[in-house]
Structure 1
Amino acid sequence: MGAVKTKRMPRAVREQQMLDAAVRIFGRRGYRAASMDEIAELAGVSKPLVYLYLNSKDDLFSACIRREAAALTAAVRAGARLGLPADRQLWEGLRAFFTHTARHPDGWAVLHLQARTHGEPFAAETAAMRTEIVTFVQQLIAEAARAAACAGEAEGGPGRLPEHEAAGLAEALVGAAESLAAWANTTPGVTARQAATTLMNFAWAGLGNLMEGRPWTPPAPGA
């Protein structure tokens, strides 16, 4: 009786199958505890084939980070559609972010937890993704501020938002979104829409006041 022949699969499809399995194992067990044997078994391939396609455990983990980072960034950019009012752009971007992280909890664990705690080059991979998202959010805030400034100048109202302040606001907003996504993914009953609403309620009240020239100011030193 001859050997059973397995159906040949295109390399790109097989590789994505391996990455799917790797993301699940890395996300749930962590980088150190994950084994190539587990990943190969879950992917339905031999361990030598995983090494043939993806070289090493480090290279496989890096490939997972790059794929998940690209998918998350694309989801956020697609969600925050250009042409919408500033609050709607931010809302849609946040909703896309929380929807994606909720649908891909293992991928989010790889990016938010695993990649950051195992040194270079993994931390650099996820830092690059974060920088891209922060820059995108900063652009949204800056555009909203410019629109508010133009309207305000016509009415003798607020001036333009300094670049460093827009950058700081973007960092704060992305950091809050990251923490809230980690919380939402481990808290039963919290939906992506609820998480996005929570952050909008927290952030937009302040941003809206700032855009309208009503910033909060700290008390004088010694007060």
Structure 2
Amino acid sequence: MGAVKTKRMPRAVREQQMLDAAVRIFGQRGYMAASMDEIAELAGVSKPLVYLYLNSKEDLFTACIRREATALTAAVRAGVRQELPADRQLWEGLRAFFAHTAEHPDGWSVLHLQARTHGETFAAEVAAMRAELVTFVTRLVVVAAREAHRDPGLPEREVAGLAEALVGAAESLAAWANATPGVTARQAAATLMNFAWSGLGTLMSGRVWAPPGEET
């Protein structure tokens, strides 16, 4: 009788297995300290196979960034129901964001810490993800203005600025929440929602802050 043949794992499944291992190593040890030997060992494959599938450490790291960025933006979009009022959409988007970053701390470390500090190419990948989130939040602000049946006279640049500030705050708060025992994703989302919507709600009502002595 011939030898029993084992079923080969599909390439796509094997590649995801390698990416899972790489995200964990990169997220916990950092890009520079991570080694292909560690990644291969954790993935249960040989180092040459990692190179065969993903070419180099740089290409592997880029693939990790792209996968984690895609997963995060997809989670935020999937968490938002378009039929809800703008404030509920923002709340659900924030909950989805903080839930995902809490459930995938290594992936968030790759995006928020590692990718931004190890070269322009890696940083550009994260910037693309961030731009998508900013665009998403900008649309929510615009919808909120329409629902208020007002024209607050916000220039497009200012609306985009508000979205940038909100996304930046979410990023910093997610890093803090992941590093602070006992802080849940819901608590982090509520903290930012209370901070953000108080200001946005006031803005939508036409009450815009201005320095003393200057017209609004």
Q: What range is the shorter-chain TM-score in?
A: over 0.9
1:156-171 to 2 correspondence within 5 Å? 159-171=152-164
Q: TM-score by structure 1 length?
A: 0.91
Deviation, structure 1 residue 3: 9.7
CA RMSD of aligned residues (A): 1.7
The CA distance in 2 between the partners of 1:3 and 1:180, in whole Å, is 56
**Aligned residue number for residue 176 of structure 2:** 183
Deviation, structure 1 residue 161: 2.7
Unaligned runs of 5+ in 1: 153-157
1:69-148 to 2 correspondence within 5 Å? 69-148=69-148
Q: TM-score by structure 2 length?
A: 0.94
AA matched with 1:27: G
| Shift in alpha-carbon separation, 1:88–1:41, aligned structure 2, 3 A | same
The CA distance in 2 between the partners of 1:7 and 1:22, in whole Å, is 24
**Aligned residue number for residue 42 of structure 1:** 42
The CA distance in 1 between the partners of 2:122 and 2:3, in whole Å, is 41
Unaligned runs of 5+ in 2: none
For the Cα contact (< 8 Å) 1:90–1:140, is it kept in 2?
yes
Deviation, structure 1 residue 6: 5.6
Runs of 4+ in structure 1 off by over 2 angstroms are: 2-7, 158-162
| Aligned residue pairs, count | 213
For the Cα contact (< 8 Å) 1:145–1:160, is it kept in 2?
no
Deviation, structure 1 residue 88: 0.2
Deviations 1:58-84 (CA, angstroms, capped at 9, x unpaired): 000000000000000001111122121
The CA distance in 2 between the partners of 1:123 and 1:159, in whole Å, is 35
| Shift in alpha-carbon separation, 1:144–1:112, aligned structure 2, 3 A | same
AA matched with 2:158: E
Deviations 1:28-60 (CA, angstroms, capped at 9, x unpaired): 000000000000000000000000000000000
1:46-65 to 2 correspondence within 5 Å? 46-65=46-65
- Percent identity (aligned): 83
For the Cα contact (< 8 Å) 1:30–1:114, is it kept in 2?
yes
For the Cα contact (< 8 Å) 1:146–1:160, is it kept in 2?
no
**Aligned residue number for residue 214 of structure 1:** 207
The CA distance in 1 between the partners of 2:23 and 2:90, in whole Å, is 28
